[in-house]
Every structure is written in C-alpha cells, then in structure tokens.
Structure 1
Amino acid sequence: MTYEDIRVEHRGGVSTIVLSRPPVNAVTPRLLMEVLSALDDLEERGETRCVVLAGSGTKAFCAGADLKADNTLAAGDSFRDLGRAVVDRLEAFPKPVISAMRGWCVGGGFAIGLACDVRLASTTTRIRTGDAYLGVIPSWGMSLTRLTHFVGRNRALDLLILGEDLDAEAALQMGLVTRVIPEEDYDAELARIAERVAGGAPITFKAIKETIRAQYMYTPAAAQALETHWSDIGGASADMREGIAAFREKRQPVFRGC
C-alpha cells in the first residue's frame, strides 16, 4: 500500500512505521488512519515479529496534533476517536511494539509513544503533556485514563497540571520510558533491541501483552484467567519445546508462533 504521511520499512523480523511529516511529525487524521492500516497489514505479515514506531528525523518523535491543518481542526470527535483507536490498537497489538521516542514527544505523540510496550528515549528526548495551556482536553485514552495506572496519581497530576518539559532522565525516573540511550548510539542500540525482541516467542508475547493489559482494563481475576488460558496454550506449543531444547543445546531458539 502507498502511504502519504508514514513509511513502512522491513529489516529481518523487525518492521518500522515511520511518522513522516517533517519537521515535527505532527498528527493529522490521515496519519492516524494510515498507522491503523499499517498495523493491520503488519499483524497479518508473518515475517514481522516486532514493530518499531518512530518519527522521521531527530527533531521530534511526534509533536502532537497539527493544529495548523484545517482538516485536523474540522475532524472534531472523529479525530478523538482515531487517536483513541491508535492508542488502543498499539496496546492490544499481538506483537511487541517499540516506540523510538527521540526528540520532542508532545500531546498526541506522548499518548501514542506511551501506548507502546517498550519506550526508548534518546538523550535528546523532551516530553510534555501541557494540554491545559492550550485549553485542550486530552481525550485519546492516555493522560486522563491510563497515565495514573502507569505512574500513579501524584505523578500524573504533576505532569498534567504543571505541563512542563520533562527531559529523558526525569522521564526514566518516572517510569515513562524504558531506558535512555546516548544520541550518538541511538540507531545501533534501537536496532539491537528490536532484533532481540523479534527473536522472542510470539505466543509468550501475546500472553504478556493481553494479561498485563487486563490488570487495569478489567480485573485481577480476569488477568488470572487469561494467565491460565495462555499457560495452557503455551504448554502445548511447539515453541515451548523448541525453547527448552535450545536452552539445553546452548543455541538460539527458532520460534514459529505455534
């Protein structure tokens, strides 16, 4: 498929969705629809074992909604619904998703970056959720819903009410990002981590994502039921047998997702 606001690239088991609206990769309804379409394609693509979500260039991962674009402002509720759909899709996507949160990560960029499973910051990363200073209600299902579960009530209020820039180290201390990588090493380290994740067991990743999400979307009891469900599936899988055999034989396992 041909896209206008994103690029999709493949390297081995890693597929990368690049938000491509320089200079700051601001979000429009079309970009969100293209991300959803790309995720649908990558879910069906058997060769894809890990997805990276990145921004073009190094200035910004994503600086939020493009408030200068008429089609963004005119979209209204549908824009909100698209934003929520992308956040939900990233979180529930059955394969691991890594966000390359390099440079500015603001507003809607904050929402979609945090929805990913592993969040890699650069030393250049700056995070802001300052909607209150634009008169905007954050409504993509992150800042007012998930964020409290991610960082706790007090830290969520600090971020939302102060609305100040947060550097990469401060974001790491809050648990917003997984790790901070020196800018000069960023591309190589991102590739290394993504390649490692692509080599993991697909069934186990599905179990991890679905069960962890159920902890706050539903109930602990629902999460425990999912744990039992996935344990039964995993225990009968060829991948579990392959993983144990590879451990005993001191080699890398070759998982097939079955």
Structure 2
Amino acid sequence: MITEEVLLTADADGVRTLTLNRPNAYNSLTVELKERLLAALQEAADAPDVRAIVLTGSGKAFCAGQDLKEHVARLQAGDSSPLRTVHDHYNPIVRTIVGMPKPVIAAVNGPAAGAGAAFAYAADLRIAAASANFMMAFANVGLGPDSGASWTLQRLVGYGRAAELMLLARTVPADEAKQLGLVGDVVPDEELAERAHAVAAKLAAGPTVTYAKIKEVLAVSAESSLEDALLAEDAAQTLLGATADHREAVEAFVAKRKPVFQGK
C-alpha cells in the first residue's frame, strides 16, 4: 500500500514551501501531520539556504484544524495523548512560526479553521484566495482557543473583534478578512500560489538578518513600554549596522545599483 505524504516540501528561489497534504480530510491535523510540520519548520529555521517560508494546503482547504475523528478514536481507546496535543504539538509549532528568524507567509487557499486558522495568524504575512475563509471553531466543540490564537488574533483585529469571532464562531469570508486586517491581500484562487511565491522570493532576496530583527523588535514592543521598545530598537540597529547587508545596501545606494543581499 502506498502511504500518502501528509506534508509536501518544495524549494525554489530561496523559498521553502510547506504544503499540508491531506486534501480529502481538508488538511485536518493528525498526530503524524503535526509532528511532520513541526520538524519541517524547525529544519527550515536552521537551513541556511532557506530564506523565506510559504505555508499552504493542498486541495480545497488550507487546514480544518484538529482531525476530530482521530482525536475521538484515541480517547475512546483510552489513549490520553490527545489531551496533551496542545503542549506537545500546537504550542511548539506556533512558537517555531512566530520565532522563525525568516519571513513566513501563509498562502490561505481555502477554509482555515481552529488551529489551522491560528497557524495562519501566527505567520508574518497572510495572502488569501478569494474562496478562503476563517473560522475560530473552538467554542463549537466545547473548547477554548489554542495554537496561540488568543494572542495573535487580537493583535490583528483588536480585543472586541477577536472576542466576537471566538464566541460566535462565525465564518469570515476572504473579503471581510481583508477588511478586518486578518489578511493583507486577497487574490483569485488560481493566482494564489504564484503571488505567495513572488512575495516570498522577494523577501528571500532581501536582508534576512534584518527581517529577523524586525520580527524580534515587534514582538518585544508589543508587550513593553516605550522605553523598552527604544532599547530593543537601539540594540537591533547596533547589530544590524555592522552587517554586510547594511554595508551592501549603503554602497549600492551610493552607486545607484541594486543591492545583492547575503543574509549576513
């Protein structure tokens, strides 16, 4: 019997594309897929030739969240491991996405629910297909938010709107998601993969050390005082000012040519 690869990996132009590949189950998250995704994200973070990451899904969905069939079957069999999946899988996945020292783009090709939506919220940039939608489905199954959604969602849309989306668990279509600030762009379905790769490739060709510091400073500043934010900016600029990429950018500007960044 041929076992389907639940996660596909492809590299091009310094971009690693990770594709959740359980299309017949709306790319819902089994233990195998969660473990594969975490390992792939960690590998991408450490790979020097990977300078940007695209996360997407195969088929008609981005990710429907937890595979409830597997979840229920394991619980009925007396297996307590599903109760540890937040600690063992979801938290490490989101920490890795948010802490990734490289840009992460979520190419949301269809419905994104629960943890699937939360993975998209954790990315640095979100581009949605016109047919995509988002749903915080946790309340519908008697659960609270996980996968960092309580942290990421309200930073995207504000506390009041985040509470509404979680309590009512309503579906947010792509156009409304853009209006709310959940996604930065909405494109025709057939253009999504190309657009996401183009954005990721542009970032991959840029000063990736700088991008890592931008992410770091934004994370610090989101929860700190102005003084702490100023200190974080000062430290980042001191480090970045000594990089080869900064020198290359300045020299290219003076010479009126396009800079060539090395991520160093």
TM-score (norm 2): 0.90
SS of structure 1 residue aligned to 2:49: coil
Q: Distance in 2 between matches of 1:218 and 1:34?
A: 34
More displaced stretch, 86-95 vs 40-49: 40-49
Matched ranges for 1:30-109 at <5 A: 30-57=32-59, 59-70=60-71, 74=79, 75-81=81-87, 82-109=89-116
Q: Distance in 2 between matches of 1:97 and 1:218?
A: 24
- Partner residue of 2:130 out of 123, 132, 152: 123
Q: Is the 8 A contact 2:7 2:36 kept in 1?
A: yes
Q: Which amino acid aligns with 2:53?
A: V
In structure 2, relative to structure 1, the CA distance for the partners of 1:72 and 1:230 (3 Å cut) is farther
Q: Which runs of 5+ in 2 are unaligned?
A: none
Q: Which amino acid aligns with 1:108?
A: A
Q: Distance in 1 between matches of 2:86 and 2:235?
A: 34
Q: Deviation at 1:226? A: 2.1
SS of structure 2 residue aligned to 1:10: strand
Q: Is the 8 A contact 1:214 1:220 kept in 2?
A: no
SS of structure 2 residue aligned to 1:69: helix
Deviations, residues 27-55 of structure 1 (Å, cap 9, x unaligned): 12222221221122112211111001111
Q: Deviation at 1:237? A: 1.2
Deviations, residues 84-141 of structure 1 (Å, cap 9, x unaligned): 1111110111000000111110011011011000101010111111221221222222
2:220 is the counterpart of 1:214: yes
Q: Is the 8 A contact 1:28 1:72 kept in 2?
A: no
Q: Residue 146 of structure 2 aligns with which residue? A: 139
SS of structure 1 residue aligned to 2:258: coil
State the percentage of identical aligned residues: 34
Q: Distance in 2 between matches of 1:72 and 1:39?
A: 26
SS of structure 2 residue aligned to 1:136: coil
Q: Which amino acid aligns with 2:256?
A: K
Q: Is the 8 A contact 1:65 1:72 kept in 2?
A: no
Q: Distance in 2 between matches of 1:14 and 1:79?
A: 29
Q: Residue 246 of structure 1 aligns with which residue? A: 252
Q: Distance in 2 between matches of 1:215 and 1:103?
A: 32
Q: Is the 8 A contact 2:107 2:192 kept in 1?
A: no
2:203 is the counterpart of 1:190: no
Q: Deviation at 1:222? A: 3.6
Q: Residue 166 of structure 1 aligns with which residue? A: 172
Q: Deviation at 1:221? A: 3.9
Q: Deviation at 1:212? A: 0.7
- How many residues of Structure 1 are paired with residues of Structure 2 in the alignment? 255
Q: Which amino acid aligns with 1:123?
A: A
- Partner residue of 1:231 out of 234, 237, 249: 237
2:186 is the counterpart of 1:180: yes
